[in-house]
């Protein structure tokens, strides 16, 4: 039999705790594959956020640190400044990065910190059970917007890439998606590119935003969730490169 696909070395062979159709597992794999392709397993430090991906270290076999909700960019600053030869990345959800940690990501970018951020935008708070995130879509119902998000009450979905791309400290900002195979491949290229820039010592922060389905709290089937992401989310969160 011909082997057409193999688990990359940096990914543990373990059953997943993620829900069916969740994007986190795919994104973990893309990061692990990129680390292996660049030969970085032994010299990378990853940051697991507070959120559904808090246990990322159970899947990605590198040195990792779990940090307080939203503070990953500050922790990454400490890590990278103290160990400039290490490759440092944070992995953060939209509640983590765009809400409670908005100050930390803004200022880490502003300072031009030389680490990489993988920002997973699923338009909702997964871990706490489906509350509104800053990135929740208008009219989207969540447990804290039971009648749908309204701009005159909860504001508009926060566009992180657009915001951070205005800062001189940002070296590379791109938004991708994992709703289908072609886009997953493209996301992989972005993740790898961002790590490569850090490896090359490029000045400034690299951030890859990944639109990612949350079928459980969007209350959709995995295939409907992928469709909704493609048809609705991308309208508000256009894919593409914003910086670099």
Partner 1 sequence: MSEKILITGNEALAEAAIRAGLEAYFGYPITPQNEITEYMARRMPEEGRVFVQSESELAAINMVFGGAATGKRVMTSSSSPGISLMQEGISYLSGAELPAVVVNIMRGGPGLGNIAPSQSDYFQATRGGGHGDYRTIVLAPSTVQEMADLMFPAFDLADLYRIVVMVLGDGVLGQMMEPVLLEKKQTHRKLPAKDWALTGCAGRSQNIVKSLDLVVPRLEKRNLMLQEKYRRIEENEVMCEGHLLEDAEIVLVAYGIASRVVRTVVSRARKEQIKAGWIRPVTLWPFPSRQIAAAAERARLFLTVELSYGQMFDDVRIAVAGKAPVHFTGRAGGAIPTVEAVLDEVKKLMQPGKVAVER
Ligand X SMILES: Cc1ncc(C[n+]2csc(CCOP(=O)(O)OP(=O)(O)O)c2C)c(N)n1
Select 1 or 82, whichever has its Cβ closest to partner 1.
82
**Residue 160 contact partner, candidates ligand X, partner 1, none, CB within 5 to 8 A by sort of partner:** none
- Between CA 118 and CA 46 the distance in angstroms is 10
Least distance between partner 1 and beta carbon 176 (Å) = 26
Least distance between ligand X and beta carbon 139 (Å) = 19
Contact 49, 91 (CB under 8 A): yes
Which chain residues interact with partner 1 by CB under 8 A? 41-45, 48, 54-55, 57, 61-68, 71, 74-83, 86, 103-104, 106-107, 110-111
Q: Which two tokens stand for residue 38?
A: 């660049």
What are the beta bridge partners of residue 119?
A: 92, 209
Least distance between ligand X and beta carbon 59 (Å) = 14
**Residue 123 contact partner, candidates partner 1, ligand X, none, CB within 5 to 8 A by sort of partner:** none
Least distance between partner 1 and beta carbon 69 (Å) = 9
Report the candidate in 210, 183, 181, 194 with the shortest Cα–Cα distance to residue 35: 194
Residue 92, φ and ψ in degrees, nearest 5 = -140, 145
- Residue 93, classified by CB atoms within 10 Å of its CB into exposed (0-12), middle (13-18) or buried (19+), is buried
Residue 242, φ and ψ in degrees, nearest 5 = -105, -20
Least distance between partner 1 and beta carbon 169 (Å) = 12
**Residue 158 contact partner, candidates partner 1, ligand X, none, CB within 5 to 8 A by sort of partner:** none
Least distance between ligand X and beta carbon 176 (Å) = 17
Burial readout 171-196 (b: 16 or more C-beta within 10 A, e: otherwise):
bbbbbbbbbeeebbebbbebbbbbbb
- Between CA 13 and CA 7 the distance in angstroms is 8
**Residue 83 contact partner, candidates partner 1, ligand X, none, CB within 5 to 8 A by sort of partner:** partner 1
Select 9 or 231, whichever has its Cβ closest to partner 1.
9
Which chain residues interact with ligand X by CB under 6 A? 50-53, 69, 93-96, 122, 124-128, 133
* Residue whose C-beta lies closest to ligand X: 93
**Residue 144 contact partner, candidates ligand X, partner 1, none, CB within 5 to 8 A by sort of partner:** none
- Indicate the DSSP class of residue 142: B
Select 44 or 142, whichever has its Cβ closest to ligand X.
142
């Amino acid at each position: 039999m011909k082997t057409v696909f193999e688990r990359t070395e940096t990914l543990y062979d373990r059953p997943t705790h993620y829900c069916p159709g969740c994007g986190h597992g795919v994104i973990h794999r893309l990061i692990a594959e990129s680390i292996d392709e660049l030969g970085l397993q032994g010299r990378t430090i990853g940051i697991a956020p507070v959120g559904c991906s808090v246990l990322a270290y159970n899947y990605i076999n590198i040195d990792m640190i779990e940090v307080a909700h939203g503070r990953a960019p500050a922790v990454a600053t400490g890590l990278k400044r103290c160990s400039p030869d290490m490759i440092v990345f944070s992995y953060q959800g939209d509640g983590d990065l765009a809400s409670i940690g908005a100050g930390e990501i803004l200022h880490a970018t502003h300072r031009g910190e030389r680490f990489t951020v993988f920002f997973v935008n699923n338009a909702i708070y997964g871990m706490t059970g489906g509350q509104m995130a800053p990135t929740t879509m208008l009219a989207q119902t969540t447990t804290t917007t039971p009648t749908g998000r309204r701009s005159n009450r909860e504001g508009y979905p926060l566009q992180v890439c657009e915001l951070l791309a205005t800062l001189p400290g940002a070296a590379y900002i791109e938004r991708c998606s994992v709703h289908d195979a072609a886009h997953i491949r493209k996301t992989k290229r972005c993740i790898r590119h961002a790590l490569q820039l850090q490896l090359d010592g490029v000045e400034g922060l690299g951030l890859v935003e990944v639109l990612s389905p949350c079928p459980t709290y969007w209350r959709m089937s995995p295939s409907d969730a992928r469709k909704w992401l493609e048809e609705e989310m991308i309208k508000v969160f256009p894919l593409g490169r914003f910086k670099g």
